[in-house]
């Protein structure tokens, strides 16, 4: 297949061969690959992951999904730790759990790299949102305070408190699951089976 050249903006063209995209300036002989290729540079991987995370959180699709949940599932309008607090009292945030949004992006990246699937921050953000709309991403509604406590490890959240089929995501993207993440999931499920309380440190 011959390369297809399209004008993107100003003097910038996109060049695609059907499987990858590159950017080229009409005033420069150099071509920049639009797909993420810096798979051996830990610093660039971290930067790419964080930029994709920001892209997702600021997207119309993410906001629409959160609104969909709040409108249709009453239980998601209550803090999952302090259930007497609702959206009528305070704004609630959605905690990605047992995998953080950062974890989810990295799992998908590793899965794509392992399977030779080209991706950009935009295509990866779209892929992540598709998994949200399938309800394959674990979410827990929390207040700002309990959200911060959960992130700092001062609260335990049981698998029974999670909205979303996180096991379906893990099965679909098992090629991207690291040993550390598998251990994290196993520990959470073991603590859940032992009925460890959320406030195991006695903060409340």
Residue 201 maps to a domain = no
Residue-number span of the structural domain to which 22 is assigned: 4-33
pLDDT value of position 76: 93
Phi first, then psi: what are they for 142, rounded to 5°?
Answer: -140, 155
pLDDT at 2: 53
CA–CA separation, 185 and 142 (whole Å): 20
Q: Tell me, what's the pLDDT at 88?
A: 82
Q: Which two tokens stand for residue 43?
A: 């610093």
What gap in Å lies between CA 104 and CA 176, rounded to an integer? 9
198 within a domain of the structure (yes/no): no
Both 62 and 137 in one domain: the answer is: yes
Residue 28 sits in the same domain as residue 54: no
Q: Would residue 204 count as lying in a domain?
A: no
Do 121 and 170 belong together in one domain? yes
- 29 and 47 assigned to the same domain: no
User: Could you tell me if 116 and 124 are in contact, meaning their C-beta atoms sit under 8 angstroms apart?
Assistant: no
Biggest alpha carbon–alpha carbon distance for the chain = 65
Query: Between 15 and 190, where is the model more confident?
Result: 190
Asked if residue 59 and residue 21 are part of one domain, the reply reads no
Looking at residue 158, what is its pLDDT? 97
**What pTM, to 2 d.p., does this model score?**
0.82
Check whether residue 23 and residue 70 sit in a common domain. no
Domain total in the chain: 2
How much is the average pLDDT of 110-137? 92
59-109 residue pLDDT tens: 999 999 999 999 999 989 999 998 888 888 888 999 999 999 999 999 999
Place of tokens 């998601």: 76
In this predicted structure, what is the pLDDT of residue 23?
47
181 assigned to some structural domain: yes
pLDDT in tens, 14-67: 555 555 555 444 554 543 444 666 566 788 889 989 989 999 999 999 999 999
199 assigned to some structural domain: no
The answer to whether position 202 is within a domain reads no
């Amino acid at each position: 297949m011959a390369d297809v050249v399209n004008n993107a903006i100003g003097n910038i063209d996109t060049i695609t061969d059907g499987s990858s995209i590159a950017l080229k300036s009409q005033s420069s002989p150099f071509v920049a690959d639009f797909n993420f290729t810096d798979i051996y540079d830990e610093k660039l991987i971290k930067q790419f992951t964080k930029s994709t995370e920001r892209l997702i959180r600021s997207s119309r699709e993410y906001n629409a999904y959160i609104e969909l949940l709040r409108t249709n599932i009453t239980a998601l309008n209550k803090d999952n730790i302090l259930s007497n607090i609702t959206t009528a009292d305070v704004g609630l945030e959605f905690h990605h759990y047992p995998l953080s949004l950062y974890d989810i992006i990295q799992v998908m990246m590793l899965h794509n790299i392992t399977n030779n699937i080209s991706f950009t921050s935009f295509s990866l953000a779209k892929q992540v949102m598709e998994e949200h709309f399938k309800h394959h991403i674990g979410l827990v509604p929390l207040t700002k305070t309990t959200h911060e406590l959960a992130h700092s490890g001062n609260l335990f959240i049981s698998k029974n408190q999670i909205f979303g089929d996180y096991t379906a995501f893990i099965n679909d993207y098992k090629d991207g699951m690291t040993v550390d993440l598998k251990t994290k999931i196993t520990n959470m499920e073991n603590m859940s089976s032992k009925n460890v309380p959320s406030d195991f440190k006695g903060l409340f």
